[in-house]
Structure 1
Amino acid sequence: MLVGMTAMAPTRTVPDVSFLLDRTSHVLRTRIAAALAEIGLTARMHCVLVHAVGEERTQAQLAEIGDMDKTTMVVTVDALEAAGLAQRRPSSTDRRARIIAVTAEGARVAGQSQAIVDRVHAEVLATLGERDRGIFLRVMEGLATGHLAESVETPGPVRRARQRES
């Protein structure tokens, strides 16, 4: 046992990439959530709508696309149904499966919400110069499809950044 000695923090030898990605991702999610709240949607509702429009996708498929657990997905689809934006229907290819069908109003709102998300993304990218914007997008695409494309197994659950939804 050390008494009266103060341990020194280890010296960082490379930039804290985890912090940079986590922080910017969190702030971007809050901006998108605030912008979508103006039309009464959450980011999850937006995700389900845009991925269900014109597609025959099950609730499980949409949950996987949106990285949602079953309970969150059920609550999200319930909210979309209550708002008249989507309906659960039997699949045309598998009578045991139910798909999420977007209503005409839901398709209109999906277009509106995609325009909002695109605007927020454009605002972020506009803060970079044209040259840096191209480099940034190439680098991020390279990470997302390369070294950071797949999660690795961990001995315990990995805590995800908290998301607040309106």
Structure 2
Amino acid sequence: MTSLAPRRNEPDLSYLLDHTSHVLRTRMAAALAEIGLTARMHCVLVHALEEERTQARLAELGDMDKTTMVVTVDALEKAGLAERRPSAKDRRARIIAVTAEGARLAEQSQRIVDQVHRSTLASLSAGDGSALLGALKSLATGHLATPVEDAPARRARQS
């Protein structure tokens, strides 16, 4: 029987990027789970520590929809890691403030995230690791910097 499938002439770049990204996310999730955090919780803590930010801004930075952001902040509040407070800059706005325990855990989670990234790159030769990072940075800031508007695809996390 002859296959009717079209012949592939190029490597499946979408599969390679999706698969490796998925596996990296699962490894990150497992590593962060050891200290009771999710990647989203880590993201909120770290970005909230950088400067005073509203929940909406943190959701944008972490590419979370409003519902996911509310659930994430609720979990952080329940764990005593963050709290919603009025902004010192705009009393109408509410910010996410990280508690002392949240800051301690964010420091620990950042070390975990860095280690997962280091071990991933260490699985490649030094030259390949540098080349991969360079190529991905070039794509992320160049040809693939802006998604096609109104395309039926899930958005990637924004930096």
TM over 0.5: yes
State how far apart, in whole Å, the 2-side matches of 1:108 and 1:151 are.
36
Residue in structure 2 matched with residue 80 of structure 1 by the alignment: 76
Residue in structure 2 matched with residue 164 of structure 1 by the alignment: none
Offset at 1:125?
0.3
The residue type paired with residue 121 of structure 1 is H
> Per chain length, whose mean CA-contact separation is higher, i.e. which structure has more relative contact order (CA < 8 Å, sep 6+)?
1
**Secondary structure in structure 1 of the residue aligned to 2:102:** helix
> How many residues matched?
156
State how far apart, in whole Å, the 2-side matches of 1:160 and 1:60 are.
17
| Aligned-pair Cα RMSD in Å | 1.6
State how far apart, in whole Å, the 2-side matches of 1:159 and 1:135 are.
27
4+ aligned runs moved over 2 Å, structure 1:
none
**Secondary structure in structure 1 of the residue aligned to 2:95:** strand
The residue type paired with residue 25 of structure 2 is R
The runs of 5 or more residues in structure 1 that have no matched partner are 162-166
Q: Which structure has the greater CA radius of gyration? A: 1
Residue in structure 2 matched with residue 119 of structure 1 by the alignment: 115
The residue type paired with residue 82 of structure 2 is A
TM-score, reference length from structure 1: 0.89
TM-score, reference length from structure 2: 0.93
Which one of the candidate residues 126, 131, 138 is aligned to 2:127? 131
Residue in structure 1 matched with residue 66 of structure 2 by the alignment: 70
Percent of aligned pairs with the same amino acid = 73
Deviations along 1:122-151, one digit per CA (max 9) or x if unpaired, are 110001111111111110110111111111
